[in-house]
Each structure stands twice: as C-alpha cells, then as structure tokens.
Chain A
Amino acid sequence: MASPMKSITEPHAGTASHEAELQTLTGSQIIWDTLVHEGVSVVFGYPGGAIMPAYDAMPAYPIRHVLVRHEQGAAHMADGYARASGGVGVCIATSGPGATNLVTGIANAMMDSIPMVCITGQVASYLIGSDGFQEVDFTGVTLPITKHNILVTRTQDIMPAIRQAFYIASSGRPGPVVVDITKDAQQGSIEHRYDPSPIRLPGYRPEHHPVSREIEKAAEMIKAAKRPIIFCGHGVIEANATAQLLEFVQKTNIPVALTLLGLGGFPATHPLSLGMMGMHGEAWVNTAIQEADLIVAMGMRFDDRVTGNLKTYAQNAKKIHIELDPAEINKNVKVDLPLVGDVRDILRMLLPQIEKRSCEDWNAHISELKGSSAVREIQSLPDNGRLFAAHVIHDLWRYTQGKALVVTDVGQHQMWEAQYYKHDYPRKLLTSGGAGTMGFALPAAMGARMACPDDEIWVVVGDGGFQMTACELATCAQEDIKVNVAIINNGFLGMVRQWQQFFYGGRYVATPIKSPDFVKLADAHGLKGLRVTKREEVQAAVEAARAFKETCIIDFRVEQEDSVYPMVPAGADLDNMIRRPVPAAAAGGELPSEELPGEAIKDVPPHNPIFETGKDH
C-alpha cells in the first residue's frame, strides 16, 4: 500500500569512517560515526527539536533505532540491553522534557552500576542560560545520578566526549554517563578523523589491586573459619566471575548466599547455594548469616535490605569484603579485611592460596536450620483451585526448564520470582534492585531482546508496575519485539498492601488498583493476550505465549491478598522474621506431612491479623 508519508525505517548498510582518512563531517555524523566505532548496533530513543540534526544523520549508519513511547522506556531499554549483554546500552533523547524523562532510568542504572551512555540534545550554546525553549540544565540535573556527565558545546569535542563516556561507563564500577550535546555543535562541520588512541583521564582510576599480603591473610581467615559463608553479589556477575566462584566453592565447600542482584551469579540448583538473603530471604539463610564466624562478601555493598538492623548484624562473623569500589568499604558494615579490586581478579589470586577444606558440620547444621521450611513453601502445597503467584512462577520455571531470561519489575512478584525461579546462569535475571523502579520490567526486557535475540524472554510484572510503562507495548508492535509478559495481577499494589497489612493496621490506602482488560489491551496493540485464573491453565498459556511470534501478555489473576514470606521488617534484626503462616493443623508441633496436602492451605486465612505486630522503620 502506498503511503503518503516518506518514511525511512531501514538503516543503510553504511560503515564507520576510516581512521586514516580526514573527512568533513557534521557534529551529527560524528555522533553516529563514534557510536559505530564503539561497537554500538542499537540505540533506544525519541526525537525532538534539539536532537533533530543527529536523527537526520542517523540513517546513513548501521545502527538500529528503536522508537520508544516515553524516554523512561529508552533508558530502561538501554539498561536492560547492558545487563543482558555485558556491554554498554545507549539511549537518545532531546533536550528539556525529553532528557528529564530519562532521569528515572538513569538513577536506576546508577544504583545498580549499569554501564549506559545517554546522549541528549541541548539548546544551542548561545541560548544556554537564557531559559530557551526546552532548555533544562541537564548536566546539573544528572550530576548526582550519573557516574560522570559532559556538556558538549563544540563540534570538535563530540568524539572525545562520547569516547570518554563509553570508557567511563564500562570501566571500574560501571555506571551511566550523560553526554549533553548542543544543537549548534551537532550542526557544525569540521575536518574529522576518528582517534582510536587510549583515553587519557588523569583523575580517573577505575582499577585497584590488592597486595599479596592481604590475599594471604584472606586465605588464612578462610582456613581458620568454622562457620564460613560466601555472599555473591552483583559484582560477581559484572566481573564475569561465576566460573571462579564455582571453583572456589568446589575447593572450600563454603555455602553461598546471594543478594537479589547476585542471583544467577552462582547456580541456584548447586547443593551449596542457599538462595537469596535479606528482607525476603529464607529464614535459615538469615539465621546462618547471624551464626556465621566468617563472611566472604563478593561484589556486594551490604544494602539495608540485606542487613536489617546493623547493630545486631552478623556480630559473630569476621568479614572479608571483596569490592571494586573503595568508597563501599566500611560504609554500612565495618569489615575486617577489605580486598579492593575486581572480583574475578581477586578470586584468581586467591584460588592458588586456598587449601581444600570441608564444611561438613556447618553445612549439616544449615540443613537442620532449613528443617521443615521447604515443606511450608507454597510451591510445595496444593492450590485447592486457587491461583497463587508462587505457583505461577514455580510453573514458569518448570516449563522453561529454568533457562529463560526473566526480567522482573518491583514488588511482591519480584520477590516471589527471586524465591521460586531458580536462576542457574548469570545475566538471566534482570531486575531493578537498588532503586526499586516500578515500570522497569517491560522496557528492560525489550532492551534485553536486542542483546539476546535467541533467548526465551519472560517479563514478570505486577499489574501496577506494568501500567507505568505499558505504552511500550506499542513499541513492541512497531519494532517487532517479541517478549512474553506474565502479569501477576492481584488488583493491589501488592507490596505496599502487604506493608499496610503488617505495619499500618490493615488500612489499604491507595493500594487497590483497577486495571484495564489486559487481554483487550494486547489485542488493541495487535499483540496476543491470554487470561489464566486456575493453576491447571498455566502450562497451556505458557506454551501458547512462547509459540506466538508477537509479544504475548498473560493476565494471571492471582490471589489478591497473598503476602511475601518470610519477611524481615525494615530495620529489624535479620533473624527476627515474619514467617510463613503455619497451617493450623500443624501449628502445635511437628508438621504431619500426610495432612499437608488437601486441607492445609484452606486453613491459611487470606488476611492474617496475627502478623500485624511489626513496625515500619
């Protein structure tokens, strides 16, 4: 069909400029040329006045552009691309509101140390400071939420600025970098030659190396410990240190607890994997931490969601902190031996020094702590005709053989996913950890799709968070991006509702949330939509979703007032947990396992006042 509009969608099969040739290029061309030299093949963005010159030059370069519906989506897509690929994600926006819409995504990437370069248009240099149309001081706005930012006002500074941005974003502890380029710098022309020489930033030192004396001391501490425990954090994944960690555990038999962002950094089905620690970690994991005499923390920062009350946190343990960022040492928890450097480098130094050891008694003790908890896990219980989120996620894990790339949003579903989807591979769980940004999941998954074209990708998202960035469904349709979306729909802003139940007297203020018909919403976008209300329908829906070539939404209508257990109330002692409700039949003593199936779950009241005893700190 003939279109009245002239539309350019296909990028040219162009190439980057040759390093030896001097060419006359505009600033706009230099932007793309530099991006191609940096290995960029996809960018996520939205055009507008101050970035129009750059967009005009784009089609001549071999870079795919994904047109988002809101710039926040562009930032999360670049973030998801970076998390899934290990490379740098790139997003583009115009000045003013275009740029400020990126802010949430930039802050999110900063909190989780994600390498990302954001290129924004800025009003012409002669208008800066005049409150020009769509002018926002974007380097000012992003100062506290970027690893670094650069305002470029001259054409000749564009290439060095973008090269620096990639270098800074991806080296050391990664993070987002903003390059704000004025419209006149984009429009200017210069004699240009790509400069591949190493970047010189005299004040920037991304690398640190511990000395051998410290490595020896660590080896001694590990040898002497009776009840050691390893913490696997995001740094293990960022440093690609999973193989070294596995070797380390094989040699020492030390059990491994993981942070939310560390999940997948050590295989969940490994016998020595304890799973997630902290606020929604299993009780035996947190108890083990409190009883440990040595913590070997790798690439994590003792976040308040991990430690609970710092005054009572892991009092019996000596702490070795393997961490790339010196500013994290002793920030929250005072450690006995900091090893500052890349986790993989340090493990490589440490491995030859470590003696083979067993942790038999300690691991046996942890198994005892575990006791009957596994039986109480909802995944092991029958559904009795109801649909529980935990069942949905457990089934999703089974039907995807635990191999899917899962992107979660923020809230209850995120914690259930972390508890019940057993991630065995790094970079297969993408989630917003530090910032806890609702609306992250769908766009981040779309970015991950660009990095991993062959992966089965599942978005696990709540009905609230999904609606924050649901506009990106239109992007899925336009750009032929295929992801599967499992909406854990309970009609509430579930995590807030849970806190209201536990800590605010059950007053559900502003948490009941009405959603559109998600099946019709998918249909309206030309995508697929399914609804699931019973557990026996889960498998068929999962299989149908993956068979569609379009993005498919499954609206899982789950139990409305289910809560995430166990839970350490904010600021409480780590081992002071709100436990899963014990079925009444078993409350008196040992769990009679024969009685569990059948009636047990009916005894669990959907709204349980006995747990409304905590305090919200």
Chain B
Amino acid sequence: MAQSESPTLRHFVAYVEDQPGVLNRVTSLFRRRCYNIVSLNVGRTHELGVSRMTFAVEADEDTARRIEANLYKLVNVLSVEDITDKPSLTRGLALIKVTVGQEKRSEVLQLVEVFRGQVIDLDLDTMIIELTGQQSKIDTLVTVLAPFGIAEMVQTGTVAMTRGEKGGAAVGAAQQPPNLRGVFAA
C-alpha cells in the first residue's frame, strides 16, 4: 500500500438509500478492505428513503480518499464526504448507570453538573446519567465516575455535521451526479 503518513481519526458522512442490507454492504466493504471502524452511526433523515451515516475511521489521507472512492462504488451509496478537516460538530450520547447510594449521591450529582449531564433515573442505589457531547467529554466523565462504580453504560456512536451552509454530502445526495472531483484530484 502506498502509505504517506500515519493514520489519524477521520470522520465521514455518507448518505445512503434506506434499504435492507445497505448497512451490511458498507460494513462488508470496511471489513474486506481492512479499514478499521472506530464508531458508526446510522439513522433516517428528514427525506423519505434516505439514511445518513457518520463513521469514524483510523486512516491516513490516502486511505481516506480510497475509502471515499470505494464507498462510491456501492450502488446504494448516494454521497460521501470526509469532514475531518472541515469545521464541524461531532456529538455522541451516552447513558451511564452508576452504582451510588445516598451517602455519595450529592458528590455524583455535582460531577454531573460540571459536565452538564442530566440525571434521568434515580433509584435507592443506582442513578442513570445522560450525557451529550464529544467523545472526549464522555470518556472523561466515565473516568471520573469509575471510582463510584459503573454498573453499565451505552453510547450511540458519534454523529457529525459541518458548520455553516449545507454540507457537501447533503448537497451531493441531492445532485445528479454529484461532483466527485475532490476525491482523486492529483
């Protein structure tokens, strides 16, 4: 492989047709080309029949271009954009169930306050905290809650959107055919 630099975490946005098996096609591509998915999120959009994926991948710039080009080869993929170097917002949502009784409850509540999380369920000896934010923020909260005892946790995977005007992938999904030039310009 023509390797140019060391891999970094990159974020992609892809619009795909909302059809059975499309997620399988995308993940199968990543598996067989040995692209390592760090996080993947998929959900429907406001447009009928169109889903949007956000995925984070460890890749160098060259691999990133080929990921994009390979995704375009899938018939059900409408558009792809590598938003790593674009001003964008990334968010994930986590639910964390902490084992905490009365004596330490206020301490935990204070921490939740600092992280601007929300307590969405409270029991005699557990508490569920909801936190929205960047991955690093979620990771940090998990670290500080760990000493209290985390019973279980779940997170959505990162979703991302570029700031400002309509994103490239969103424009591409509506275009016939979208502009592919950026993918393989010399």
A517 to B24, CA, bound (A): 49
The 0/1 profile, CB within 8 Å of B marked 1, for residues 324-341 of chain A is 011101111110111010
> Does B1 contact A332, Cβ atoms closer than 8 Å?
yes
In the complex, the answer to whether A325 meets B73 with C-beta atoms within 8 Å is yes
Given A143-B28, A203-B77, A332-B2, the answer on whether A326 and B176 have CB atoms closer than 8 Å is no
Q: Is B87 an interface residue (CB 8 A)?
A: no
**B interface bracket (residues with beta carbon within 8 Å of A):** 20 to 34
Cβ–Cβ contact B1 & A205, under 8 A: no
Given the complex, which residues of B lie within 8 Å of A326, measured CB to CB? 69, 72, 180, 183-184
**A201-B75 contact in complex given A326-B184, A331-B1, A332-B2, C-beta closer than 8 Å:** yes
Contact A331 B66 (CB under 8 A): yes
Interface residues of A in 316-360 (CB under 8 A from B): 325-327, 329-334, 336-338, 340
Interface string of B58-97 (1 = CB under 8 A from A): 0000100110011011111111000000000000000000
Q: Does A208 touch B at the CB level, under 8 Å? A: yes
Which residue on chain B has the smallest CB distance to residue A164?
Answer: B75
* Across-interface contacts of A331 in B (CB, < 8 A): 1-2, 66
A214 interface residue per 8 A CB criterion: yes
With A and B bound together, what is the CA distance between A293 and B74 in angstroms?
A: 36
How far is the CB of B87 from the nearest CB of chain A, in Å? Answer: 26
- B16-27 CB contact bits vs A (8 Å, 1 = yes)? 110001001100
A479–chain B nearest beta-carbon distance, Å: 35
Instruction: Give CA–CA (A151, B22) in the complex, Å.
Output: 13
Residues of A within 8 A of B (CB): 139-140, 143-144, 147-148, 151, 168, 201-205, 208, 211, 214, 217, 310, 325-327, 329-334, 336-338, 340
A-B complex: 6 closest residue pairs judged by Cβ atoms: A334-B2, A327-B69, A326-B69, A205-B177, A203-B78, A327-B70
Known: A211-B181, A327-B73, A332-B2; 18 extra A-B contacts, CB below 8 A, are A143-B24, A143-B28, A144-B28, A144-B32, A148-B75, A168-B75, A203-B17, A203-B79, A205-B177, A326-B69, A326-B180, A326-B184, A327-B66, A327-B69, A329-B184, A330-B66, A333-B2, A340-B184
| Sampled A-B contacts (28; CB under 8 Å) | A139-B21, A143-B28, A144-B28, A202-B78, A203-B17, A203-B74, A203-B75, A205-B177, A205-B178, A211-B181, A214-B186, A325-B69, A326-B69, A326-B184, A327-B69, A327-B70, A327-B72, A327-B73, A329-B184, A330-B65, A331-B1, A332-B1, A332-B2, A334-B4, A334-B62, A337-B186, A338-B184, A340-B184
Enumerate chain B interface residues (CB-CB to A < 8 A): 1-2, 4, 16-17, 21, 24-25, 28, 32, 62, 65-66, 69-70, 72-79, 176-178, 180-181, 183-184, 186
